[in-house]
Amino acid sequence: MKFSTNEDIEAPIDAVFDLLCDFEAFERSAMRRGAEVQRTDQLSVPGVGMTWQAAFHLRGRQRQMEVEMVSFERPQEIVLESTSPGTLATTSFELIALSRSSTRVKVEIEIKPLNLSARLLVQSLKLAKKSLTKKFKLRVAEYAKNLEDRYKRQA
């Protein structure tokens, strides 16, 4: 199952990439939504090999997840792989410079079930795909607007 969307941000590609690399902000955002997040690697700079442990509630159950950065190509791409019992999810952020002061961000999430119970979960998500896609696009648009506002405050 795959979700994807594009958002244009009025900021240079390098600035957008740097804002996307503010992983502490991602961690704080997840915690505000009720997740427990802990970084588990020892890297001093962002890059391939960064890892996190996360725990959160989804569809009435407590879920555990490990997240690892598998691709980090400045300033074009960040790819994260999330594994939990039964599922593998790949989240990618692809940046394209539209001009010196404008960047398009393509966000894509692909969820693959690895066992029968995960297959049932993904199947139930497919039944609600239209509303989930709408929520996904709205959340990404809000995040893009937030990045743009943060850039403008820094400039």
Collapse the DSSP code of 14 into the 3-class scheme (helix H, G, I; strand E, B; otherwise coil) and give the result.
helix
pLDDT digits (tens, 9 = 90+) for 29-55: 888 988 999 999 999 899 999 999 999
94 contacts 103 by C-beta, under 8 angstroms = no
The pTM for the full model equals: 0.90
pLDDT at 155 over 80: no
Strand order in the sheet with 87-99: 2-9, 102-113, 87-99, 77-84, 61-73, 51-58, 36-39
* High-pLDDT (> 90) share of the chain, %: 81
Domain architecture of the chain: domains with CATH: 2-154 (3.30.530.20)
Per-residue pLDDT band for 61 (boundaries 50, 70, 90) equals: confident
Per-residue pLDDT band for 134 (boundaries 50, 70, 90) equals: very high
Average pLDDT, integer, range 62-91: 95
How far, in Å, CA of 23 to CA of 43, rounded? 12
